Amino acid sequence: QLQLQESGPGLVKPSETLSLTCTVSGASISTSAYYWAWIRQPPGRGLEWIGTVYYNGDTYYNPSLNSRVTISVDTSRDQFSLRLSSVTAADTAVFYCARHGTMIRGGFDSWGQGSLATVSS
Partner 1 sequence: QSALTQPRSVSGSPGQSVTISCTGTRSDVGTYNFVSWYQQHPGKVPKLMIYAVSERPSGVPDRFSGSKSGNTASLTISGLQADDEADYYCCSYAGSYTHVVFGGGTRLTVL
For binding to partner 1 (CB under 8 A), which residues are involved?
37, 46-49, 52, 60-63, 96, 103-109, 111-114
Quick one: 93 exposed, middle or buried, by C-beta within 10 A (0-12, 13-18, 19+)?
buried
Task: Give the CA angle between residues 97, 87, 104 to the nearest 5°.
Answer: 30
Nearer to partner 1, 16 or 108 (CB): 108
CB of residue 121 to partner 1, shortest distance in Å:
27
Nearer to partner 1, 16 or 65 (CB): 65
- Rounded to whole angstroms, the Cα distance separating 69 from 17 reads 10
Nearer to partner 1, 89 or 104 (CB): 104
Enter the DSSP assignment of 91. Answer: G
